[in-house]
Amino acid sequence: MRIDIITVLPELLTSPFSASIMKRAQDKGLVEIHVHDLREFGKGKYRHVDDYPYGGSSGMVLMCEPLDQCIEKLVAQRTYDEIIYLTPDGKTLNQSIANSFSLKKNLMMICGHYKGIDQRIRDMWVTKEISIGDYVLSGGEFGAIILADSIIRLIPGVLGDETSALSDSFQDNLLAPPVYTRPAEYKGHKVPEILLSGNFPKIEKWLHEQAIERTRARRPDLLDE
Ligand code: ADE
């Protein structure tokens, strides 16, 4: 998979993609991440990429031309399965969206900033609009990082244990059951007996019951879906 990210703040994206699972996925050649600095497409000494909104409201809007030129350059080089704009008015990210993006080959992500991007770029280019939750961030960069992480960990071979992405919370609309590791007793708190029993069919059943119980208590809405 290849992910191209367009941003005015490329430095924000350096560290998340240089550590842990997202780094390992790149090192293994399972994903390529290319960050593009929108300012390189800006005009003038200050590489202008934003302007005041028409209609007089406050804030700044990322202009059409730099974005259009950057996107044009990328689409001339390959076909993108999706051109995703990160925005609070997009569809809220969930596991099933991450699952479907993880099957794609080329994804482009556009990070808004300030008041967002000119609507015409959304109309001309964007194929999916994604929000990471009902709150407003200063830009789409953290959204792009979260979206990329949720996708990349699902690519076969990225996680060491092939089954672990499948047992995540939300994969079957259930929250994950509690987990424990050694020691078997800590400050008087014991690991549930069943997990030490070695009876794997019984353990499986218990874990499933715990997942349902936890979902019922914390996110009953998921059980309705
Ligand atoms: N940009 C600003 N807020 C955002 C959000 N909630 N999700 C995705 N991108 C955003």
pLDDT tens string, the chain, 225 residues long: the values are 999 999 999 999 999 999 999 999 999 999 999 999 999 999 999 999 999 999 999 999 999 999 999 999 999 999 999 999 999 999 999 999 999 999 999 999 999 998 999 999 999 999 999 999 999 999 999 999 999 999 999 999 999 765 577 778 787 899 999 999 999 999 999 999 999 999 999 999 999 999 999 999 999 999 987
- From residue 192, alpha-carbon distances to 164, 183, 189 in Å are 21, 12, 9
Q: What is the predicted pLDDT for the residue at 64?
A: 98
> Count of CB atoms within 10 A of residue 58's CB?
8
Tell me, what's the pLDDT at 164?
72
Spell out which residues line ligand 1, taking CB within 6 angstroms: 86-88, 112, 131-133, 135-137, 139-140, 143
Token pair in block for residue 106? 């080329």
3 is in an annotated binding site: no
Length of the chain: 225
Protein residue with its CA nearest to atom 5 in ligand 1 = 88
pLDDT at res. 163: 59
186 annotated as belonging to a binding site for a ligand: no
Please give the Cα distance from 99 to 95 (Å, whole number): 6
Q: What is the per-residue pLDDT for 146?
A: 98
How far is 143 from 205, CA to CA, in rounded Å? 36
Distance (Å) from CA 133 to ligand 1 centroid: 7
CA-112 nearest atom, ligand 1? 1
The confidence score (pLDDT) of residue 224 equals 87
Report yes or no: 111 and 139 within 8 Å, Cβ to Cβ.
yes
Ligand 1 pocket test, pick from 5, 60, 62, 87 with the greatest ligand atom count within 8 Å of Cβ, gives 87
Task: Please tell me whether 133 is known to bind a ligand.
Answer: yes
- What is the pLDDT, as a whole number, of residue 170? 81
The structural domains of the chain, ordered by start, are: 2-153 (3.40.1280.10), 169-222 (1.10.1270.20)
Task: Give the model's pLDDT for residue 162.
Answer: 57
Strand-pairing partners, residue 117, are: 62
